[in-house]
Chains A and B, each alone.
Chain A
Amino acid sequence: MIEAIATMSALGVGLGIVLGVAARKFHVETPPIVDEIEAALPGTNCGQCGFAGCHAAAEAVADGSAVATVCPPGGREVALKLVEIAGPSCHAGGADLAGQEDAGPMAAFIFEDHCTGCTKCYKRCPTDAIIGAAKQIHSVIFDACIGCDACVEVCPTEAIIMRSKPRTLRNWYWPKPEEHFEPAA
Chain B
Amino acid sequence: MKLFSLSSLRRGADMFSIRGGIHPETNKYLSAKSPIEKMPMPSIIRVPLQQHIGAEAVPLVKRDDLVLKGQLIGKARGPISANVHAPTSGRVIAVGHFTAPHPSGLPVATITIRPDGEDRWGPHLPRLRPEDADPKDIAQRVMEAGIVGMGGATFPAAVKLNLRERYPLHTLIINAAECEPYLTCDDRLLRERAEEVADGIWIMAKALGVEKVIVAIESNKPDAIEAMRRHILAAGPNARVMRVPTLYPMGSEKHLVQTVTGLETPARALTAELGVVVHNAATAHAVHKAVRYGEPLISRVLTVSGHGIKRPANIEVLIGTPVSEIIDHCGGLEGEPERILLGGPMMGLPIQSLRVPVIKGTNGILALQKTESRQKAAMPCIRCGGCIKVCPCGLMPMEMHARIRNDDLDGAVDIGLLDCIACGSCSFNCPSNIQLVQGFNYAKGRLAFKQSQKHQQEETKRLADARNIRQEAIAEAKRQAMAKRKAEMAERKKAEAAAASGAAPETPKEAAE
Contacts and interface: CB of A to CB of B under 8 A. Distances in A.
Interface in B440-487: 441-442, 444-446, 448-450, 452-453, 456-457, 459-461, 463-467
B415 interface: no
B216 interface: no
Contacts, number: 77
B102 A43 contact: no
A174 interface: yes
B430 to A, nearest CB: 12
A77 interface: yes
Contact of B464 (A45, A143, A169, A172): A45
Contact of A174 (B379, B380, B405, B441): B441
B27 interface: no
B349 to A, nearest CB: 10
The listed residue with most A CB atoms (<10 A of its CB), out of B100, B404, B434, B461, is B461
A174 B463 contact: no
Interface in B391-441: 404-405, 434-435, 438-439, 441
A29 to B, nearest CB: 25
B463 A181 contact: no
Contact of A169 (B104, B439, B450, B467): B104
A124 B377 CA distance: 53
Contacts of A172: 102, 104, 106, 445
B50 A169 contact: yes
Contacts of B434: 179
B449 A171 contact: yes
A77 B450 CA distance: 9
- Chain A contact surface mostly: loop
Contacts of B448: 173
Contact of B463 (A128, A167, A169, A173): A128
B108 interface: yes
B378 interface: yes
A177 B463 contact: no
The listed residue with most A CB atoms (<10 A of its CB), out of B106, B377, B448, is B106
A144 interface: yes
Nearest to B461: A43
- Chain B contact surface mostly: helix
Nearest to A173: B445
Contacts of B435: 177, 179
Contacts of B377: 182
A176 B401 CA distance: 11
A168 B438 contact: no
Contacts of A144: 459-460, 463
Contacts of A176: 404, 439, 442, 446
A2 to B, nearest CB: 18
A28 B378 CA distance: 59
Given A174-B441, A177-B439, A127 B106 contact: no
A119 to B, nearest CB: 15
A181 B380 contact: yes
A10 B467 CA distance: 36
Interface in B355-409: 377-380, 404-405
A177 B102 CA distance: 18
Interface string A66-97: 00000000000100000000000000000000
A171 B450 CA distance: 10
A167 B106 CA distance: 8
B466 A128 contact: yes
B108 A169 contact: yes
A146 interface: yes
A45 B461 CA distance: 10
Contacts of A167: 104, 106
Nearest to B100: A169
Given A43-B464, A126-B467, 7 more contacts: A42-B460, A127-B460, A144-B459, A171-B452, A176-B446, A177-B435, A177-B438
Interface of A: 42-45, 77, 126-129, 143-144, 146, 167-169, 171-177, 179, 181-182
27 contacts: A42-B457, A42-B460, A42-B461, A42-B464, A44-B464, A45-B464, A77-B450, A128-B466, A144-B463, A146-B460, A169-B50, A169-B100, A169-B104, A169-B108, A172-B102, A172-B104, A173-B442, A173-B446, A173-B448, A174-B103, A174-B438, A174-B441, A174-B445, A176-B446, A179-B378, A179-B405, A181-B379
Closest 5 CB pairs of A and B: A173-B445, A177-B435, A127-B463, A44-B464, A177-B438
